[in-house]
Amino acid sequence: MDMTNNQRFVFSVLLICFSLKWDVSGGVDSISVNQPLSGDQTIVSAGGFFELGFFKPGNSSNYYLGMWYKKVSEQTVVWVANRDKPISDRFSSLLRFSYGNLVLYDESQIPTWSTNLNTTNISSSIEAVLLDEGNLVLRDLSNDFLWQSFDNPTHAWLPGMKIGFNKRTKEKKRLTSWKNIEDPAPGLFSLELDPDGTDQYVMVWNESEIFWHSGIWSGKMYSSVPEMAYFINNDMYNASFISNENEQSFIYFVKDPNFISRFILDASGQVRQMYWLENTSKSWFQIWSTPRQPCEIYAYCGAFGSCSEQTQSFCGCVPGFKPNSEHNWNLLHDHSGGCVRETQLQCENNSLANGESDRFLANHDITLPEHPQSVAVRNITGCKTICLNDCSCTAYAYEDSACSIWNWNLMNLQQLAKVNLIAEGGDILSLLDKRLESNADVEEISRMLKVACWCIQDDENHRPSMAQVVQMLEGIVDVTQPPVPRCALFQNLAPQISVASCNFATT
Ligand SMILES: *[C@@H]1O[C@H](CO)[C@@H](O)[C@H](O)[C@H]1NC(C)=O
Ligand SMILES: *[C@@H]1O[C@H](CO)[C@@H](O)[C@H](O)[C@H]1NC(C)=O
Ligand SMILES: *[C@@H]1O[C@H](CO)[C@@H](O)[C@H](O)[C@H]1NC(C)=O
Ligand SMILES: *[C@@H]1O[C@H](CO)[C@@H](O)[C@H](O)[C@H]1NC(C)=O
Ligand SMILES: *[C@@H]1O[C@H](CO)[C@@H](O)[C@H](O)[C@H]1NC(C)=O
Ligand SMILES: *[C@@H]1O[C@H](CO)[C@@H](O)[C@H](O)[C@H]1NC(C)=O
Ligand SMILES: *[C@@H]1O[C@H](CO)[C@@H](O)[C@H](O)[C@H]1NC(C)=O
Ligand SMILES: *[C@@H]1O[C@H](CO)[C@@H](O)[C@H](O)[C@H]1NC(C)=O
């Protein structure tokens, strides 16, 4: 299962092809006070590793100032200056020095991006140099770095770059995802040092929900990223965690400068490490990624979207809802906009009232969203009534005499695999939709559920390969009784959840 998911993800990463014609102006690696940059001009680091100039992501009509690998034939951007302020005409835009800062002026000569230094001390010898590490630095005659792009990371963690926390300035350096493959504006996901002060790294959704922990650093790997040990043991990388009175950060280096590898937080919320196969396929090869399953990414399918490892696209909308943007959802694989109601709720628009009132649709195989509000009522009718009488209430669940309601957007819904009872040898049919009861092939269903159960084993080593899964599903290989996976979790999540919706099929 892992394999297909990864391939699909690699594919979406490969879609990040940037159309750009460049025109190297004689191997210049710097921008000086008298030499600004515009149009198709670029600067290239001294050893020819990185290039900086204007680029256009995918089919977007916007241009950005960015940095990419000079030696990689597939345009692969690692840093973007004007992330959320694109320019439309790169020929009338200008990157130049202004009062000691490097400033990007758009086609209307309005500053859209700047190095933002406090410039009390303007030196005319100041210059911006692109270094072979992929670091754009501002320096003057003193050779000190007054500013560096390594201190202002975007979505890529390059070798030699520190991500962490500066204890003196209280600044945190973190990676933030792109919004989608055509928009480098800061997206919803970030990778940063644990805000609780531990030495772990965490992945965060919308600066609020932590959905992944790296585990502790052993000196060779983070406990949730055992793959790292392989590369460090094989002397391809060295890495260290730095913790002193100034900072708490992690840094790594690649031993062979010709080995082009990149560590990115991609727009979908997955971290991946990839390396460039120059001598064979001339493409990026993924070494590892995390979280391994898309549905482990918080709110992967956005508001009112439900994530399922069992479907090709992973994301669907709950019944009665449709993707907020079909273009983003289908073409850009950007699900962050989530789903919206196909039909307005009656309580939102009184003029719709023609004897109809809002009703609930029960969803049995979906996890309950986080952050419920508990309401003290005696029975399910009371729970339902509370929700129905409040137009901001979108769902309720009643279980063990406890009523929970949710207001506004429902986030991070997961379509459940119907596996919890099978692993305990329980009754299969009781889990199925009533319509299937009469003609379901119990043997086949049991097989499917057991395979599903194998595929969600907590221990990676227990999960079968895709080829094994196919053989199991086709009945070529016998499926043994799987160990109980996160079933304790599933049982808590099993009660029915109801989503307020008009116009649902009344079967
Ligand atoms: C970009 O444009 C090409 C050509 O018009 C089209 O085939 C492709 O699907 C587009 N890609 C996206 C992501 O919209
Ligand atoms: C810039 O200087 C001003 C005034 O001296 C000060 O208030 C501000 O904090 C400084 N900003 C930075 C980023 O150092
Ligand atoms: C101004 O720059 C000079 C040389 O770069 C440096 O020695 C001096 O400390 C700077 N002064 C201030 C106030 O930053
Ligand atoms: C992210 O958080 C902000 C501030 O809390 C909120 O306004 C915004 O709606 C959130 N984004 C999404 C997609 O939920
Ligand atoms: C890792 O390698 C870099 C450059 O190759 C070197 O400067 C650094 O000291 C090394 N760090 C460790 C912890 O070995
Ligand atoms: C690619 O081939 C060249 C020339 O044969 C060799 O020097 C280089 O090490 C190879 N690169 C990798 C990453 O294998
Ligand atoms: C209420 O519904 C009517 C008819 O569908 C529509 O024209 C109107 O814009 C809606 N009002 C609001 C506030 O959404
Ligand atoms: C549910 O509880 C309410 C009081 O909270 C009571 O009036 C009502 O009769 C109860 N309904 C049922 C079906 O038990």
**Hey, which bits of 106-169 come out as E strands?**
111-114, 127-130, 136-139, 145-148, 156-157, 163-166
Q: What residue numbers bound the domain in which 344 lies?
A: 305-414+493-501
Of 122, 149, 176, which residue constitutes the final position of a domain?
149
Bond prior to 184 in cis (omega within 30° of 0): no
Of 298, 315, 346, which residue constitutes the final position of a domain?
298
What is the atom index within ligand 1 of the atom nearest the CA of 181? Answer: 13
507 falls within a domain: no
Token pair, residue 172, equals: 């945190």
70 falls within a domain: yes
Of 16, 5, 8, nearest in space to 262 by CA:
16
Do 66 and 39 share a domain, yes or no?
yes
* Ligand 5: centre distance to CA 161 (Å): 12
Do 43 and 117 share a domain, yes or no?
yes
Of 298, 323, 345, which residue constitutes the final position of a domain?
298
Do 174 and 262 share a domain, yes or no?
yes
Beta-ladder partners of 51: 44, 68
CB of 268 closer than 8 Å to CB of 12: yes
Of 29, 33, 53, 47, nearest in space to 140 by CA:
33
506 falls within a domain: no
What is the atom index within ligand 1 of the atom nearest the CA of 332? Answer: 13
Q: For every one of its 507 residues, what pLDDT tens digit does the chain have, with 9 covering 90 and above? A: 344 444 443 333 323 323 233 334 446 999 999 999 999 999 999 999 999 999 999 999 999 999 999 999 999 999 999 999 999 999 999 999 999 999 999 999 999 999 999 877 777 789 999 999 999 999 988 888 999 999 999 999 999 999 999 999 999 999 999 999 999 999 999 999 999 888 999 999 999 999 999 999 988 889 998 888 888 888 888 899 999 999 999 999 998 888 899 999 999 999 999 989 988 889 999 988 999 899 999 999 999 999 998 888 899 999 889 999 999 999 999 999 999 999 888 888 776 556 567 888 888 888 889 899 999 999 999 999 999 889 899 999 998 889 999 999 999 999 887 654 444 433 333 332 322 333 334 454 444 445 444 444 445 555 555 445 444 544 445 555 554 433 222 222 223 344 433 222 222
CB of 247 closer than 8 Å to CB of 331: no
Do 43 and 82 share a domain, yes or no?
yes
Do 377 and 426 share a domain, yes or no?
no
Do 145 and 215 share a domain, yes or no?
no
| Number of domains comprising the chain | 4
**279 within ligand 6 shell (Cβ under 6 A):** yes
Do 108 and 178 share a domain, yes or no?
no
Do 285 and 323 share a domain, yes or no?
no
Do 113 and 163 share a domain, yes or no?
no
pTM: 0.78
The string of DSSP codes covering 380-411 is: HHHHHHHHHT-TTEEEEEEETTEEEEEES---
**380 within ligand 8 shell (Cβ under 6 A):** no
286 falls within a domain: yes
Q: What is the DSSP letter of 330?
A: I
Closest Cα to atom 14 of ligand 3: 121
283 falls within a domain: yes
Do 20 and 104 share a domain, yes or no?
yes
* Ligand 1: centre distance to CA 274 (Å): 24
* Ligand 6: centre distance to CA 274 (Å): 17
Do 116 and 19 share a domain, yes or no?
yes
**253 within ligand 5 shell (Cβ under 6 A):** yes
* Ligand 8: centre distance to CA 350 (Å): 28
